């Protein structure tokens, strides 16, 4: 399953976020796969696309960063998959 993770950085936390990532990596538990990410131009939010069959792994991962970031996790599907689902209903 795919998840869009919206990270809202705490005020003043950006240097610490990048320092931790540089020193410790993403700190992903086994079974949680990072696919891609985008950071807004103000360095206030990051949008990460993740994949896992176990959503509990997202909780384990976000706890490691919760001192610096607030998270919103949204289950998503590829547009082509959404179109295929809707085609069966039309």
pLDDT tens digit string along 30-46?
999 999 999 999 999 99
Mean pLDDT (the chain, rounded): 97
DSSP state of 36: E
Q: What SS3 state is found at 80?
A: helix
Parallel/antiparallel/unpaired status of strands 45-51 and 2-9: antiparallel
Whether pLDDT at 89 is above 80: yes
Can you give the CATH number for the domain in which 83 is found?
3.30.70
Tally of domains within the chain: 1
Domain range spanning residue 23?
A: 2-87
Q: Specify the residue for token string 């809707």.
A: 86
Query: Residue 50: CA atoms inside 13 Å, Cβ hemisphere, count?
Result: 29
- Compute the chain's Rg from CA coordinates: 15
d(CA 83, CA 90): 10
pTM passes above 0.85? yes
């Amino acid at each position: 399953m795919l998840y869009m993770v919206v990270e809202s950085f705490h005020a003043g936390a950006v240097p610490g976020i990048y320092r931790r990532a540089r020193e410790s990596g993403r700190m992903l538990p086994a079974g949680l796969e990072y696919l891609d990410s985008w950071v807004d131009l103000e360095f206030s939010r990051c949008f990460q696309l993740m994949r896992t069959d176990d959503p509990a792994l997202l909780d384990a991962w976000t706890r490691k960063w919760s001192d610096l970031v607030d998270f919103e996790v949204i289950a998503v599907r590829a547009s082509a998959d959404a179109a295929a689902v809707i085609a069966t209903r039309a």
